[in-house]
Amino acid sequence: MLFKRPGVGDPLPVDSVTAHVIDPVTEALTDLHRRLGALRDGEVADYIPQLALADPDDFGLALVSMAGRRYQAGQADTAFTIQSVSKPFVYALALTDLGAQEVLRYVGAEPSGESFNAISLKPGTGRPANPMINAGAIATSALVRAAGPGERFERILACLSAFAGRSLDVDEDVYASEAATGDRNRALAYLMRAAGSLEADVDEATDVYFRQCSVRVTAADLAVMAATLANGGLNPVTGRQVVTEPTATRTLSVMATCGMYEGAGEWLMNVGLPAKGGVAGGLIAASPARFGVGVYSPPLNSAGNPVRAVAAMTEMSERFGLHLMHRAALPHVATVTAAERWERDGRSVGFVSAQGTLEFTETEALLNAIREATPPAPGRVVLDLTAVTGISSGPAVMLAAVLADLHGQGHRVAVAAQQALLQAGEGRPRTWEAFTTREDALAWCEDRSQGA
Ligand code: GLN
């Protein structure tokens, strides 16, 4: 016999159970890695000596889902420096410390259409165009609250680590190389300081920024970091809320319009996802509420973004239909399962039932069904939401407004729903009777009819 059959009671090795199950996500990453690894375009950054040492053949891809599951292909565990991919995360930290309005006083949120180290300061105020280019990133990093530069960098490192879900460290050689050759960044900082948009000391501010750029990560780390932004600031691997949801949303917005430097417009058109690239070859892309991707591949295109990462994300976006402007699939199952009206004992009853999760589109369909089923003269409206599993807060407000309106018009309204859904509405003035089963709601209708 070729294979030894495990005896009764032998624990089955886990690998033998899972090894042959097809995993389409890993297959997609492996396929991209195999085909795009052959791309020879682009140049490894050499503006600082340490970066020029990178191997142009290194190529790793990783993806983390909202459930915290990890997938990867190629050199996803090879370490490199984060460089400009740090910018959105430090922006999120500054937003957390100061609030969006205050941060906007120092750093704009407009695409510059220029390269990463362009001057891009607004005439008059000296305010940098956005936090994704160097000038804006230096100003942003200086906004992080701290007693001094040492503490400021510690807070930045702790923030990047929380996004990655593990303790990150600094590549001291890259840092030294960066600091030794960083005159253009110092020049940007001097210009901002002269114009009043940078209050910190130039050497201190740029030193923190150089350290921030020299933090070591892997493609697998970047995927967790991107997934945390895609997941409303909640790290799907560690379960820690790293930043608030509005902060994650703002950060992704600035990434979408400014993340890819002078390639940002074309990127948004072709790929349609918020992203950020760095000169060492790292790139993140976030598909909101779906997943985060991290890519590592050192050769860069003329806009300073990693060539293979751009190609990989373009393909992935097409293959999985990820473009943000792509019309989302309409629900396969109808939300509204019944909408009818009947007369009993001289009273009109409108009845509507629905199922599933109520987001905007589903709620809009439900509200339309309620309008159609509502009796023309004051009567009864029964809403059976017992098969509804969730409702977002905006749609819940829309539904509450319609129920209040029905009440105002003299209708008596009964809602049957799961306990959790009924509790979600607590604290608001109730203009309807609550039940947990459709039968109870309908019985209430009839009782009233009899009593009338
Ligand atoms: N450390 C680099 C710089 O400031 C980061 C730039 C980048 O990754 N595009 O020049």
Quick: pLDDT tens for 70-94: 999 999 999 999 999 999 999 999 9
Q: How far is the CA of 213 from the centre of ligand 1 (A)?
A: 7
Please state the atom number of ligand 1 nearest to the C-alpha of residue 85: 8
Q: How far is the CA of 446 from the centre of ligand 1 (A)?
A: 71
Q: How far is CA 207 from the centre of its chain?
A: 29
Please state the atom number of ligand 1 nearest to the C-alpha of residue 213: 1
* CATH of the domain spanning 2-24+329-450: 3.30.750.24
User: How many helices (H) and strands (E) would you count in the chain?
Assistant: 17, 12
Please report, as a single letter, which amino acid is at residue 271: V
| Domains of the chain by residue range | 2-24+329-450, 37-320
Q: What strands, in cross-sheet order, belong to the sheet with 275-277?
A: 70-74, 60-65, 291-296, 282-287, 275-277
What are 87's two structure tokens? 């910018």
Q: How far is the CA of 378 from the centre of ligand 1 (A)?
A: 67
Mean pLDDT of 144-157: 98
Q: How confident is the model at residue 7 (pLDDT cuts 50, 70, 90)?
A: very low
* CATH of the domain spanning 37-320: 3.40.710.10
Q: How confident is the model at residue 450 (pLDDT cuts 50, 70, 90)?
A: very low
Please report, as a single letter, which amino acid is at residue 40: R
Question: What pLDDT sits at residue 47?
Answer: 86
Closest CA to 272 of 315, 306, 331, 305: 315
Q: CB–CB of 378/349 below 8 Å?
A: no
> Angle at CA 128, nearest 5°, toward 123 and 134?
135
Q: How far is the CA of 83 from the centre of ligand 1 (A)?
A: 5
CA distance 168 to 8: 45
Q: Does this chain's domain 2-24+329-450 share its CATH topology with 37-320?
A: no
Model confidence pLDDT, tens digit, residues 234-272: 999 999 999 999 999 999 999 999 999 888 999 999 999
> Angle at CA 163, nearest 5°, toward 158 and 165?
85
Ligand 1, pocket residues at CB < 6 Å? 83-84, 116-117, 134, 178, 185, 213, 278-279, 304
Closest CA to 41 of 415, 311, 374: 311
Confidence (pTM): 0.83
All residues at 6 or more sequence positions from 284 whose CB lies less than 8 Å from its CB, including other chains = 85, 88, 222, 223, 225, 226, 229, 275, 276, 292, 293, 294, 295
Helices (H), 278-428: 307-320, 360-373, 393-408, 419-424
CA distance 250 to 447: 52
Q: CB–CB of 331/355 below 8 Å?
A: no
Model confidence pLDDT, tens digit, residues 317-369: 988 888 998 876 665 677 899 999 999 888 899 999 999 988 877 888 898 89
Q: CB–CB of 375/342 below 8 Å?
A: no
Q: How far is the CA of 301 from the centre of ligand 1 (A)?
A: 14
Please state the atom number of ligand 1 nearest to the C-alpha of residue 185: 4
